[in-house]
Structure 1
Amino acid sequence: MSQNGNSQKLTLLALTGMVVGSMVGAGIFNLPGRFGSATGPFGALIAWAIAGTGMYMLARVFQALAERKPDIDAGVFAYAKAGFGDYMGFLSAFGYWLGSCLGNVFYWVLIGSTLGAFFPVFGGGNTLTAILVSLAGIWTFHFLILRGVEQAAFINSVVTVAKIVPIIVAIIAFIIFFNYAQFADNFFGGADMPEKPLWAQVRDTMLITVFVFLGIEGASVYSRFAKTRADVGRATILGFVGVTGLMVAITLLPYGVMPQSSIAGLRQPSLAGALEAIAGPWGTIFISVGVLISVLGAYLAWSLICAEVLFAAAKSKDMPKMFALQNSNRVPANALWLTNIVVSLFVISTYWSRDAFNFMLDMTSVTTLLPYLLVAGYGVLLARSGEGYEAVPQERGRDQVIAWLAVLYTIVMFVAAGLKYTLLVTLLFLPGTILYLWARREQNIELFSRRDLAIFAVTAVAAVIGLIGLLSGTITP
């Protein structure tokens, strides 16, 4: 997008569309089954209240940081580096990149699972056939992107329509066939579902809510293209409220058309099965086509994001300089190669996963939580210091409260995830530290400060515990 001239500036409607496009991804098509296996409508309402409030606070932190520290524009990880030092900045960059890679793996598992409804050889998305097709897709996209396919902006328009239309049609169908008595039977948990405390029901839905909100930070990226700076805040709120409304509707309405146990048993993408229950086989076909187009488009966008994160980190000297190199089409080629090699390895690893679909979804969520936590923490530090608030000192107190609430939310999400995923993430961070050491060597600077060495030691211990858990079988993917 050109930045020259007002003709290239974005209106409020265009900005809101970008927010919606970045937030509505593959996860929304999986909400009925994931929530149905965990809780009834009552627990779902509590989960969405927690997630909506927490993510809104996080969005406000991103807005505040964009306004108070406009000079920090290297990416989400730059806030972590500014607030907590070089190694935490690296872990944030690596975690965000890794989370994006795992998200791309999830996309391919979802594609396989969607095709599995029509071709059993694809199974749940992690059979040998599904993996081979995924690998072919990954490398086809890879070579297309190397040729500069990122310029094909029209793809985003097609993808946005493909995502929104099936969702709206499904919501209308659920409303038409809504049965209040069925909804009431499910409200506190279906009669034929196992007994589970309310707190456990809510906990088991929290990681899917993190996943479906990924991309909320993207709103601040478009601020420099806005016709009016104030439109960025308005677009964030409008997009956030609109998307949250869609996700809550997709979660709650199926409880009014079928028993919770039936919802829990749906194969993913579960929205297809829920629509089939009231509209017949065309419901599965309709949603599945929408999912495939949506996911392929989203995969293209997130492949570029993965490479861009490595590229930006290398430009700021937090990653080896080789990842800052671009080819003749202005694509960060080395970053793209590493990204797709890692995505391919993770896709192959799903063959040994008992539930590759939910495992990759949860790993993506947990890996992305660290960058979010560090951004919220930096928001607290900045509001406390008063830096950037010289012209508006009255906003410091409000922003500090918002940032603390965002910190609390991300910590709660880590707790909800459980120790298993946290240990597995550190197990990935440990070998990733090689990239940090490589970058420091290139600059002939100290490898670790005393504080950074302590953080590395904690990461290493957690990684060793995670490895022992995997080898002993106490931790299973």
Structure 2
Amino acid sequence: MTTTEQKSSSKLSLPALTAMVVGSMVGAGVFTLPQRLASETGVLGAVIAWVVAGAGMLMLAFVFQALAVRKPHLDNGVYVYARTGFGVYPGFLSAFGFWASACAGNTFYWVLITSTLKPLVPAFGDGDTIWAVLVSSVFVWGFYLLIMRGVKEAAGINAIVTAAKVIPLLLFVVVVIFAFKPDVFLANITGGYDSGGENLFEQVRGTMLVTVFVFLGIEGASVYSRFAKKRADVGRATVLGFLSVLALFATISIISYGILPKEQLGELRQPSVGSVLESAVGPWGAWFISAGLIVSVLGAFLAWSLMAAEVLFAAAKDKDMPKFLAKSTPKDVPGNALLLSTLLIQALLVIVLFADGALDFMLDLTASLALMPFALAAGYALKIALTRDGYAGLPDRTRIRDLVVAAIAVVYTLFLIWAAGLQLLLLSCVLLAPATLLYGFARREQRGRLFTTPGWIVFILVAVGAIVGIIGLITGFVSI
């Protein structure tokens, strides 16, 4: 087989790209939805939350679709859009933030897997014991070896896993519909805002981070654009995958209000989808969902590991990360980038041993770190629509449509940053500021200018946020 034929055979089709998007989003998050939403709001708030999140994330999906078409030469969406649109340092922060978010998400996955197995292995505790961390570490390094065999092989496994893990969720929907109690559902409508509880706006705001978390992976096809057989498939896969997943997530969370009162839903043990099904059909429901969760999380871990390594690899190829991260194996695997990702996951697993509420903290931190890359990508789409960059020869209505979509996406991502709260913003700065040393090392390798004027402004803002965050941790204003 010739080199050209080998490259062609390694390309991903539309179904494979769509499976990457679905596989990236349908992970641990969906299995936590009933408890996380019920702890914040009732039926009405949940419906509003999904409308807001669905509309906002759909705009982001359209942003990635438009950027894939308008800028087909940009091969790694999340990172390169920020770099091209706003400069080297903001691009670096976008790359590092997305990478750190993926690694934190993968750590969350293993904490949830081991805590799910607690009934079988009590030594696992809530996923934060030494035995849980040791077992998780073995599997983390096992996946590292699997991915090192080649991206195509790993992507193929992910497609199979994506098909397998949707079955328990679909069964959940069918069973819960038959067990649905209209009186319980109606009692859960308001979420308590009509009886002295939080107002509806605050209820919806409290759901925003979990809705971001479950949709992480919407950029999956864009990240893998260099492996697509057809460039147009990148945008199609993003939108198809998103719409499928939105319908599934909204259905699972809302019909759960017809099984248990809101107060009981909000106190369920995770994975709460299993606990809801157990309430409907007995103990076998919890075990069945737990098995589905483990399959689902393993597939999502695989997809996220691939995406995280690709971001570091692309940043290094653009000379914004140290050049050792730009090395790939003969099977086109970014080996050093994958190794660094695995090392960070391992470090975070160790930190889990000393953290309180590690599961919720990792979920919120994962979502928070992803917000800046999304905001910068939306900002770049808005910029090229305003400047008509990439719209030569196209009807003006196309540009106006993309302009409106990008503007809505920018507003939505800024709203999410505000909804996440000051503490998570400061903690993100605490992580991002030291990473600038990695950026400085890469700039030194290239003998390039460290910062432009906008770069200095961004760095000062991040550094001030990190200092305030560290002071907050010391004084107790910021907590983990």
TM-score, L = length of structure 1: 0.94
The answer (yes or no) to whether the contact 2:155–2:303 under 8 Å persists in 1 is: no
Q: Classify 1:184/1:160 alpha carbon distance in 2 versus 1 (closer, same or farther; 3 Å).
A: same
Partner of 2:407: 404
The answer (yes or no) to whether the contact 1:190–1:261 under 8 Å persists in 2 is: no
* CA displacement at 1:132 relative to structure 2: 2.1
* CA displacement at 1:152 relative to structure 2: 4.3
The SS at the match of 2:336 is: helix
* CA displacement at 1:223 relative to structure 2: 6.3
Q: Classify 1:223/1:427 alpha carbon distance in 2 versus 1 (closer, same or farther; 3 Å).
A: closer
The answer (yes or no) to whether the contact 2:60–2:406 under 8 Å persists in 1 is: yes
CA distance in 1, matches of 2:188, 2:114: 30
CA distance in 2, matches of 1:224, 1:349: 35
Letter of the 1:413 counterpart: L
Q: Classify 1:230/1:342 alpha carbon distance in 2 versus 1 (closer, same or farther; 3 Å).
A: closer
Partner of 2:140: 138
* CA displacement at 1:355 relative to structure 2: 1.4
Partner of 1:359: 361
Letter of the 1:287 counterpart: I
TM-score, L = length of structure 2: 0.93
Q: Which moved more, 1:448-457 or 1:410-419?
A: 448-457
* CA displacement at 1:170 relative to structure 2: 0.3
Partner of 1:440: 443
* CA displacement at 1:46 relative to structure 2: 0.6
The answer (yes or no) to whether the contact 1:190–1:259 under 8 Å persists in 2 is: no
Partner of 1:242: 244
The answer (yes or no) to whether the contact 2:326–2:334 under 8 Å persists in 1 is: yes
The answer (yes or no) to whether the contact 2:165–2:293 under 8 Å persists in 1 is: yes
Q: Classify 1:241/1:415 alpha carbon distance in 2 versus 1 (closer, same or farther; 3 Å).
A: same
Task: Give me the CA root mean square deviation.
Answer: 2.4
* CA displacement at 1:461 relative to structure 2: 0.7
* CA displacement at 1:19 relative to structure 2: 3.5
* Match of residue 156, structure 1, among 149, 155, 158: 158
Q: Classify 1:328/1:67 alpha carbon distance in 2 versus 1 (closer, same or farther; 3 Å).
A: closer
CA distance in 2, matches of 1:177, 1:100: 36
Matched, 1:427 2:448: no
* Match of residue 174, structure 1, among 176, 180, 185: 176
Q: Which moved more, 1:139-148 or 1:254-263?
A: 139-148
CA distance in 1, matches of 2:460, 2:425: 15
The answer (yes or no) to whether the contact 2:25–2:300 under 8 Å persists in 1 is: no
Q: Classify 1:31/1:141 alpha carbon distance in 2 versus 1 (closer, same or farther; 3 Å).
A: same
The answer (yes or no) to whether the contact 2:219–2:238 under 8 Å persists in 1 is: no
Letter of the 2:282 counterpart: G
CA distance in 2, matches of 1:322, 1:374: 26
Letter of the 2:345 counterpart: V
CA distance in 2, matches of 1:315, 1:170: 44
CA distance in 1, matches of 2:409, 2:355: 32
The answer (yes or no) to whether the contact 2:24–2:304 under 8 Å persists in 1 is: no
The answer (yes or no) to whether the contact 2:118–2:124 under 8 Å persists in 1 is: yes
The answer (yes or no) to whether the contact 1:193–1:261 under 8 Å persists in 2 is: no
CA distance in 2, matches of 1:308, 1:380: 25
Letter of the 1:94 counterpart: F
Q: Classify 1:474/1:117 alpha carbon distance in 2 versus 1 (closer, same or farther; 3 Å).
A: farther
Partner of 2:292: 290
* CA displacement at 1:211 relative to structure 2: 0.8
Partner of 1:274: 276
- Mapping 1:64-213, distance limit 5 Å: 64-148=66-150, 151-189=153-191, 195-213=197-215
The answer (yes or no) to whether the contact 2:68–2:235 under 8 Å persists in 1 is: no
* CA displacement at 1:457 relative to structure 2: 1.0
* Match of residue 344, structure 2, among 342, 355, 358: 342
The answer (yes or no) to whether the contact 2:11–2:228 under 8 Å persists in 1 is: no
Q: Which moved more, 1:24-33 or 1:73-82?
A: 73-82
Per-residue CA shift, 1:289-329, capped at 9, x if unaligned? 11112212221222222222111110111100011122454
* CA displacement at 1:380 relative to structure 2: 1.0
Partner of 1:309: 311
Q: Classify 1:284/1:2 alpha carbon distance in 2 versus 1 (closer, same or farther; 3 Å).
A: farther
The SS at the match of 1:116 is: coil
Q: Which moved more, 1:164-173 or 1:352-361?
A: 352-361
Per-residue CA shift, 1:234-286, capped at 9, x if unaligned? 54443322211110011011110111111111111111111111111111111
* CA displacement at 1:345 relative to structure 2: 1.4
The SS at the match of 1:205 is: helix
Partner of 1:476: 479
CA distance in 2, matches of 1:8, 1:303: 19
* CA displacement at 1:229 relative to structure 2: 6.4
* CA displacement at 1:83 relative to structure 2: 1.1
Letter of the 1:108 counterpart: W
Q: Classify 1:371/1:112 alpha carbon distance in 2 versus 1 (closer, same or farther; 3 Å).
A: same
Per-residue CA shift, 1:442-468, capped at 9, x if unaligned? 011111122211211111110010011
The SS at the match of 1:124 is: coil
Matched, 1:4 2:8: yes
CA distance in 2, matches of 1:456, 1:272: 44
Partner of 1:47: 49
The answer (yes or no) to whether the contact 2:24–2:303 under 8 Å persists in 1 is: no
Per-residue CA shift, 1:194-236, capped at 9, x if unaligned? 8222111111110010011111122345667778766655544
CA distance in 1, matches of 2:256, 2:100: 33
CA distance in 2, matches of 1:88, 1:306: 18
* CA displacement at 1:146 relative to structure 2: 3.4
CA distance in 2, matches of 1:140, 1:193: 52
The answer (yes or no) to whether the contact 1:193–1:260 under 8 Å persists in 2 is: no
